[in-house]
Amino acid sequence: MNSTVYNDSDNEFNERNDDTKSPIKDPIDKKYESVASVRETLIEHPAFALGISAVRRCHRMGRFGLEEPGCLLITGVSGSGKSTLRKEYAKHYPRRETDDGTVIPVLHLELPAQPTIKNVAERILIALGDPLFARGSAETMTARIVTLFRNCRVELVILDEFQHFIDNSSEKIETKVADWLKHLVNVTRVPFVLMGLRRCRRILQGNEQLRRRFSRQISLEPFGIADKRSRRIFDTLLRTIFGSLPVTCVPELTSDGDHIEHIHYATYGLMGYVMTLITASVEIVLEEGRPAIDRDVLGRAFSESIWPEGRGRLNPFHARFINRPLTNAGEPFFGYKS
């Protein structure tokens, strides 16, 4: 996997190539391998590094088996990089088999779209490798989780999409979830990292003890361009990405210019959308044999991969673009708080 690391000392992004895959000889497959490699590129920007550092701190303290382990809540809008952060951190602590059994230092999973305490307990048991994951009541499942946490030497749990617990739920259900989570943290003494949209903070508001456990909270915010420092960071990010692609880019994309504003309008400054836009642009260039990524390619990539209705004055790369964030009803970033 290609990885781009932000270096605080020199304020630059440095590319690291960890790809060990064997080359694909078929020309068509090779094109798509290039597209896939772009999509899988990890961008370790400052906010990402802050998130990794916060999870690591939570993990390290959790190894001491404190009676009240410190937990962490990470929030952010869709596309801000929460799931990428979860997977990247867990990748460095893989499950392994030993003479004493399976060891799972970091247990991480995504919550179901319509979670209940029982089906979440079931999903945790599946992740732990329990062959009887569906058997028993929520109480007996929870007891097995506690036992398996100890046997598998679980040091940290990361639960993604936590907002599902409050979507379309009643206050009574939210209270039960908060109590169950508090109990699990108390009994296992394992720190939990919860990830989700901003509204998942609501589940902590009605439970004082749980709120205290998750007093450490960080938010993964979109890149901004409102001030010089923010613009410089976003510009450096874009230059590094464009400079490391398997296709050519027109010179304007690797120099300071109004393309920065237009890419920001097209992606809302969210890493997930930035990579979607650029990946689609690479695919267009490779598919059509075009000489380089230019404004026209970016415009097509936006309407094809981010917003089909984004054409004409509603396309950030059109000459007569309306020059405002696309946050109105029916637009791609409606509901995203500035």
pLDDT value of position 338 = 47
Q: Among 59-68, 116-125, 154-163, 265-274, whose mean pLDDT is lowest? A: 59-68
Q: Return the number of other C-beta atoms located less than 10 Å from residue 221's C-beta.
A: 14
138-150: average pLDDT: 96
Domain ranges across the chain: 65-219, 223-314
The one-letter code for the residue type at 42 is L
Structure tokens at 295: 């404004």
Give the range with max mean pLDDT: 18-32, 110-124, 175-189, 297-311: 297-311
pLDDT for the residue numbered 15: 42
Predicted pLDDT of residue 165 = 82
Please compute the mean of the pLDDT values over residues 194-201 and round it to a whole number.
90
Q: Per residue in 304-335, pLDDT tens?
A: 999 999 999 999 999 999 999 999 999 999 98
* Model pLDDT, residue 210: 81
User: Which residue type is seen at 124?
Assistant: I
| In contact, 214 and 200? CB cutoff 8 Å | no
pTM of the shown model: 0.83
CATH superfamily entry for domain 65-219: P-loop containing nucleotide triphosphate hydrolases (3.40.50.300)
CA terminus-to-terminus distance, the chain: 32
Label residue 14 by pLDDT band (50, 70, 90).
very low
Residue 274: both structure tokens together: 């930035």
- The mean pLDDT value for 59-64 works out to 84
Structure confidence at residue 11 as a pLDDT band (50, 70, 90)? very low
Place of tokens 């952010």: 76
Q: Which residue has the higher pLDDT, 248 or 167?
A: 248
Tell me the per-residue pLDDT of 237-246, one tens digit each, with 9 for 90 and over. 999 899 889 9
Q: For strand 12-17 and strand 2-7, is the pairing parallel, antiparallel, or unpaired? A: antiparallel
Confidence (pLDDT) at 28? 60
Instruction: Extract the tokens encoding 235.
Output: 């510009």
Task: Give the HSE-up count for residue 235: Cα atoms under 13 Å, Cβ half-sphere.
Answer: 18
